[in-house]
Protein backbone atom coordinates (compact mmCIF):
# COMPACT_ATOMS: atom_id res chain seq x y z
CA UNK A 1 0.00 0.00 0.00
CA UNK A 2 1.32 3.43 -0.95
CA UNK A 3 1.30 6.15 1.66
CA UNK A 4 1.70 9.76 0.58
CA UNK A 5 2.23 12.90 2.60
CA UNK A 6 -0.58 15.42 2.39
CA UNK A 7 0.62 18.47 0.42
CA UNK A 8 -2.30 20.63 1.55
CA UNK A 9 -3.04 22.75 4.59
CA UNK A 10 -5.07 19.77 5.87
CA UNK A 11 -8.19 21.81 6.35
CA UNK A 12 -10.33 19.25 4.58
CA UNK A 13 -10.83 15.62 5.59
CA UNK A 14 -8.18 13.15 4.50
CA UNK A 15 -10.71 10.85 2.92
CA UNK A 16 -12.31 11.67 -0.40
CA UNK A 17 -15.29 13.94 -0.14
CA UNK A 18 -18.71 13.35 -1.62
CA UNK A 19 -19.76 15.69 -4.38
CA UNK A 20 -22.14 18.40 -3.21
CA UNK A 21 -25.72 17.14 -2.82
CA UNK A 22 -28.49 18.71 -4.88
CA UNK A 23 -30.00 21.48 -2.76
CA UNK A 24 -33.40 21.01 -4.39
CA UNK A 25 -34.51 18.08 -6.51
CA UNK A 26 -37.66 19.58 -8.05
CA UNK A 27 -37.46 19.40 -11.83
CA UNK A 28 -34.03 17.86 -11.73
CA UNK A 29 -33.05 15.06 -14.09
CA UNK A 30 -32.10 11.91 -12.22
CA UNK A 31 -30.30 9.17 -14.09
CA UNK A 32 -31.14 5.62 -13.09
CA UNK A 33 -28.30 3.29 -13.86
CA UNK A 34 -29.03 -0.41 -13.99
CA UNK A 35 -25.78 -2.29 -13.56
CA UNK A 36 -27.34 -5.27 -15.35
CA UNK A 37 -27.80 -7.54 -12.40
CA UNK A 38 -31.03 -9.54 -12.21
CA UNK A 39 -34.06 -7.59 -10.97
CA UNK A 40 -32.28 -4.27 -11.16
CA UNK A 41 -35.17 -3.14 -13.34
CA UNK A 42 -37.69 -4.01 -10.63
CA UNK A 43 -35.83 -1.93 -8.11
CA UNK A 44 -35.37 0.98 -10.50
CA UNK A 45 -39.00 0.92 -11.67
CA UNK A 46 -40.09 1.51 -8.10
CA UNK A 47 -37.46 4.21 -7.51
CA UNK A 48 -38.55 5.89 -10.74
CA UNK A 49 -42.19 5.96 -9.60
CA UNK A 50 -41.18 7.59 -6.33
CA UNK A 51 -38.94 10.19 -7.99
CA UNK A 52 -41.57 11.17 -10.57
CA UNK A 53 -44.15 11.52 -7.79
CA UNK A 54 -41.74 14.00 -6.16
CA UNK A 55 -41.45 16.15 -9.26
CA UNK A 56 -38.25 14.82 -10.77
CA UNK A 57 -37.55 13.68 -14.30
CA UNK A 58 -35.76 10.41 -14.89
CA UNK A 59 -33.61 8.83 -17.54
CA UNK A 60 -32.75 5.15 -17.65
CA UNK A 61 -29.30 3.73 -18.43
CA UNK A 62 -27.72 0.36 -18.12
CA UNK A 63 -24.20 -0.94 -18.02
CA UNK A 64 -23.26 -3.63 -20.55
CA UNK A 65 -22.28 -5.93 -17.69
CA UNK A 66 -22.16 -5.75 -13.92
CA UNK A 67 -18.70 -7.33 -13.96
CA UNK A 68 -16.97 -4.27 -15.31
CA UNK A 69 -17.00 -0.63 -14.37
CA UNK A 70 -19.23 1.57 -16.52
CA UNK A 71 -17.70 2.53 -19.87
CA UNK A 72 -16.34 6.07 -19.94
CA UNK A 73 -18.75 7.02 -22.73
CA UNK A 74 -21.70 5.97 -20.58
CA UNK A 75 -20.42 7.94 -17.58
CA UNK A 76 -19.89 10.99 -19.76
CA UNK A 77 -23.35 10.60 -21.27
CA UNK A 78 -24.95 10.45 -17.83
CA UNK A 79 -22.89 13.41 -16.62
CA UNK A 80 -24.01 15.39 -19.65
CA UNK A 81 -27.70 14.56 -19.39
CA UNK A 82 -28.41 14.34 -15.66
CA UNK A 83 -28.12 16.37 -12.49
CA UNK A 84 -27.61 13.26 -10.36
CA UNK A 85 -27.51 9.52 -10.77
CA UNK A 86 -28.74 6.58 -8.74
CA UNK A 87 -26.95 3.33 -9.36
CA UNK A 88 -28.95 0.19 -8.62
CA UNK A 89 -27.39 -2.96 -7.35
CA UNK A 90 -29.84 -5.86 -7.26
CA UNK A 91 -30.21 -9.61 -7.31
The site for another protein (CB under 8 A) is made up of: 1-11, 14, 16
**Beta carbon of residue 19, minimum distance to another protein (angstroms, whole number):** 12
Handedness of CA 25, 27, 31, 37 (dihedral sign): positive
Q: Is the CB of 8 or the CB of 53 nearer to another protein?
A: 8
- Which is closer to another protein, CB of 8 or CB of 26? 8
Report the alpha-carbon distance of residue 23 to residue 18 in Å, rounded: 14
Q: Quick one: 17 or 73, whose CB is closer to another protein?
A: 17
Distances (CA, A) of 19 to 4, 22, 36, 85: 23, 9, 25, 12
Minimum Å gap between C-beta 71 and another protein is 18
Amino acid sequence: MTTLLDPTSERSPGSRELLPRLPDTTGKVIGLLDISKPRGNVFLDRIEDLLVQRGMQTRRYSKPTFTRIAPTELKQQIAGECDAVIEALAD
